[in-house]
Chains A and B, each alone.
Chain A
Amino acid sequence: MQKQQQVSDKVLVIGGGMGGIRAALDLAEAEKKVILVDRDYTIGGLMTQLDRTFPTNNCDLCTLSPNLSEGSRQEYIELLTMTTVKGVKGGKGNFTVSMETAPRYINLDKCTACGECHKKFPQCVRFTPGLDHRAPTCMRYPQATPQAFSIDLAKCDDVEGLMKSCPAGAINPDDMGRKFEVTCGSIVLSPGGSLFDPSHLDYLGYGQQPDVVTSLQYERILSASGPTMGQLVRPSNGQQPKKVAWIQCIGSRGLQKGAGAYCSSACCMFALKEAIVTKERFHDDIETTIFYMDMRTMGKDYERYFLRAKNEFGVRFVRSRPHSIVREGGAENLSITYSCDDKSANITEEFDMVVLSTGFRISDEVRVLAGKLGIDLNSSSFPVTDPFNPVATSVPGIYVAGVAQAPKDIPETMVQASAAACMAAGDVAVPVKAEEDREPPPPEFATVGEEARVGVFICDCGENIGGVVDAGALAEFASQLPQVVVSELKGHGCSRQSMREIQESIRDNKLNRVVIGGCSPRTHETKFQETVRAAGLNKYLVEIANIRDQATWVHSNSPQDATAKAKDLIRMAVGSVIRSQPLVDQSLPINKDILVVGGGVAGMNAALQLADQGHKVYLAEKTDKLGGLAARIHSTIEKGDVQTYVKDLIARTEAHENIQIITRALIVDHSGMPGLFKTGMQTGKQMFYRQIEHGVTVIATGAKPNRPPQYLLGENAAVSTQLDLQALLAEKPETAKAWDNVVMIQCVGSRDDENPNCSRICCQSAIKNALRILALNPEARIFVLYRDMRTFGFHEEYYQKARELGVIFVRYSREQPPRVQAGDGGIEVSFTDPVLGRELTVAADHLCLSTGMVADEDGNSELAMLFKLPRTADGYFLEDHVKLRPIDLPVPGFFVAGTAHSPKLINESVAQALAVAARARTMLARDTINLGARSAKVDKNICAACLICVRSCPFSIPFINAEGYSEIDPAKCHGCGVCVSACPAKAIQLMQFEDDRILAKLEELFERTNA
């Protein structure tokens, strides 16, 4: 008998930045075991250092920290921080990875992150990325995971004192670190990128002039958790700057010594964001200038962001690569010397601060790691990936995501992370469901109708609370409150010992309500909910009074006020918890079938991935055949054979036993809830009606090639689109041999009033086709008339190659577009050359227009109405969160892939399709779906069916049912509370936030005032 290779049931995720966290969560939620390793002492990566993110300009930590804390909670994830990979053996299905964990010198089980050690040993370490003072005990930011500190023992000269400073006795200077091995079936590589270091470029003044900073340092200066506590000041003198310049492409596009040949893709956007945030702070009191080569705002709605920066915020844009940044002897300000189109001379201008937009690169450490993994790297040291699967490396079983794959921004990283999770999940065995090692919690005891018996537990949280107020006196105060049976002081309520004591107290004193006077529910609510639940109490019967953040931290200078406020908070919490009621989390059984709408590359990939996992997939295609737009494309710029790929994809889809293909499908109705959808469609030539029941819906309806009636398109045979041209070059290559002059015009039907966004794909299409023409006919002269060349990532190298081969790139402005007329010898194209300052006319044998893509307005608006999905202004489907949830649609159970989301390349569509499969599996892994308890509930005896809730609900959930009152499906309700406040009859209550609880809090708060 052949020995069967044992397949491991674990996935190793290397790198705990946003990408690694996303991949780990997707895997864990799909019930795969994950080991997440990061060399840093907390997870979070680069994103935790950012102040805000484009294009929403939200603060990052708020959007990020739920993800981080989820990361530590998931039972399927083993988190190993301060750990590096030392060696890899084996192959797909069975890797053996040796690792080493560096000593943290802090016992994670004991540390409560109280901050005492940090307070007593402050400010003696400098810490890259710069401008950031750190103590030897270092927690990077308040929401860090693990929620614990770490010590840099080498920087500490009083180890004894440091140990004594810890009230929990968690500091262990004898920590040794450890070496060990793990086995895993597949590996997700997401170590992120490092940033280009401009120190060696003396003409930029970085390192010599304190007011020259990198974009990440500027980000830290803007950040509330940064070294200046969010004050935007010049490092040299602490004054507010009046004039700030950004210089783009530092370390990118092969410009400087040591720079990557590629475009770093994200820097234009982060410079715009930093300039806008700067403008928002100081308005007319500050000038912002961006020196750029091409503004590359090719992401979804990014062009609008660029226009906002220019038109609304007055950010100034100068197309120039500055020569130098110097500070003349004795001068306070920096001088930038540059030149631009309108003047053939150097211009010198003074600025207070200069920000260098440094690009991404692969660190030496990651290069070494890649060597250990045995994956192939390209000339820029990024992993070589499959042309049609950007997360698949050269080694089966190893997948890459995020900046480590190619420079990119956060949403694309999230997409790839989910895609890598999807691929990695396919290589591991299904974990054997271990016998529950934890005992199931005891049955909940009845509380309804019982007299409230409240237990109050006050934490002193070390010095955090106890150092400002007398916590014992607070406990004494609380014991006097009505219905309080027990009130005790707990040192650290969140320590295991205290939790056990709280549970015992619940049992011994028959408590049926609990108040914790301690820290933030944001970090600790779940913990305390689990604590009381384990003692048999419904988890919604505990309330946290945040006396740390809201009293002792903010009023640390005034203990008396802090005490008074803490008392108010505790009284309010007690008043509220008395009226709290046991709630049940909503859960529903899930139908595990899937409907995929759209049979292009994205739809087929998503369908195949899910079908391979054993799900029944209905693939509904509007036309009579599969393939979508990709079926018309011959080759990618990397020379990937699209025709063969699409044919193979169609064959595999058609042959798959779990996929049912429905062509000529027209969706006509839709109902149900996530996990239990019903979608009706008319299908086939006869338009028969059929209804499909499914749990998840994937929108992969694609986009349309744009054909605006401009520049003689459709009127003259010598004028085509890039899509037509690539077909012509593939099918009738001899045509190109007769061409002397070819002109291409970029941004036709994009970046104009009608369609303000960039179509993302056209710059690379133009270069792909120009290179193809030159391969067929090296004598051809090709002119590309462009506004900004947006060859992001590795496409930049093809742009470079096209210029080397003699393709002439001439810029035009939106105000002065080229003019075209049919002449005797072909098409006469006239344009102004900005370098020569002259009007030129080229008689072109062929004129090719880069027309890009537009959303299918008719199709999308119909679907959006049926499925209740929001869309962007230009008609693409709008995701749940443009930064962190680019695959999930706002309606639970709906996911989007491919160009239905925004214009994108084939491999980007594939990545998103794989990501959809990973996201869908997180839902489908469970037999039921937990919707939490927070939902709006209608009292039918009061409801007057006035329709106000129906009209006010942003999600269109309430409806008037057959019995004549408003019904709100708890499974669909988002718990936003809009209907609750709008209802004139007060017939609607929001569970967990019922009126009487809120009023009780207010009564307790104002009791003192009234008396």
Chain B
Amino acid sequence: MASIYSYYAKWIREGRLKVNSDWNKERKVKFTIQDPCQIVRKSFGDPVADDLRFVIASAVGEENIIEMTPNKSNNFCCGGGGGFLQSGFPDERRAYGKVKFDQIAATGADYCITGCHNCHAQVHDIGHHFHGTYGTVHIWTILCLALGILGPNERTYLGDDLKDVNVFHPETAL
């Protein structure tokens, strides 16, 4: 059993996923990375976190990553796991999420990349709640963007700065 991040990394190294970060050479949009607890801290550890970084660096450019502190296996929980997003108690959930929000805000990144659906929902929610300036994107979105296969209707979580980058129109492409 392996994480999808490790497969992405493998496929990129093998040249099977032709990811390109040139789109961000000029733009210099900054990204930070949320390490999901279940994949990193609680199971595969730092090696998979390194794979995750390799994938994101391939997609956005290494120089455009700003790390949170602490990160990888020592990362803080987003505060949305364990059923918390569904269980009610939103005030408590956001209070826990404040740690994560402060961590993300401290990086000054434009986007926080999450690879976990739970983290995505929580990081997005606390961003709004605490009036953050960052956007929240799933790793899948940014990977497709870098592959040039992200359609116009798949950009809900992208800000205006990325709305028109590498737009893929299947009807015209075919």
Contacts and interface: CB of A to CB of B under 8 A. Distances in A.
A324 B41 CA distance: 14
A208 B84 CA distance: 36
B95 interface: yes
Interface string A304-345: 000000000000000000001000000000000000000011
Interface string A232-249: 000000000000000000
B95 A324 contact: no
B92 A324 contact: no
A257 B74 contact: no
Contacts of B92: 344
B17 interface: no
Contacts of B99: 346
Majority DSSP secondary structure for residues of A touching B: strand
B96 interface: yes
B77 to A, nearest CB: 10
A324 B74 contact: yes
B82 interface: no
Contact of A203 (B45, B70, B95, B96): B70
Interface in B88-145: 92, 95-96, 99
A202 interface: yes
A386 to B, nearest CB: 36
A324 B70 CA distance: 10
Contacts, number: 13
A202 B74 contact: yes
Nearest to B96: A344
Interface string A171-215: 000000000000000000000000000000011000000000000
Interface in B142-165: none
A655 B99 CA distance: 71
Interface residues of A, number: 7
B89 to A, nearest CB: 10
Contacts of A203: 70, 73-74
Interface string B21-61: 00000000000000000000000010000000000000000
A203 B69 CA distance: 12
Contacts of A324: 70, 74
A82 B70 CA distance: 45
A963 B45 CA distance: 84
Contacts of A345: 95
A344 B95 contact: yes
Interface string A241-274: 0000000000000000100000000000000000
Contacts of B96: 344
Contacts of A344: 92, 95-96
Contacts of B95: 344-345
Contacts of B73: 202-203
A203 B92 CA distance: 26
B70 A257 contact: no
Contacts of A257: 45
A344 B98 CA distance: 11
A203 B41 CA distance: 12
Nearest to B74: A203
A344 B99 CA distance: 11
A253 to B, nearest CB: 15
A257 B95 CA distance: 29
Nearest to B98: A345
12 contacts: A202-B73, A202-B74, A203-B70, A203-B73, A203-B74, A257-B45, A324-B70, A324-B74, A344-B92, A344-B95, A345-B95, A346-B99
Interface of B: 45, 70, 73-74, 92, 95-96, 99
Q: Which 4 residue pairs of A and B lie closest in terms of their CB atoms, listed nearest first?
A: A203-B74, A324-B74, A257-B45, A346-B99
Given A202-B73, A203-B70, A324-B70, 9 more contacts: A202-B74, A203-B73, A203-B74, A257-B45, A324-B74, A344-B95, A344-B96, A345-B95, A346-B99
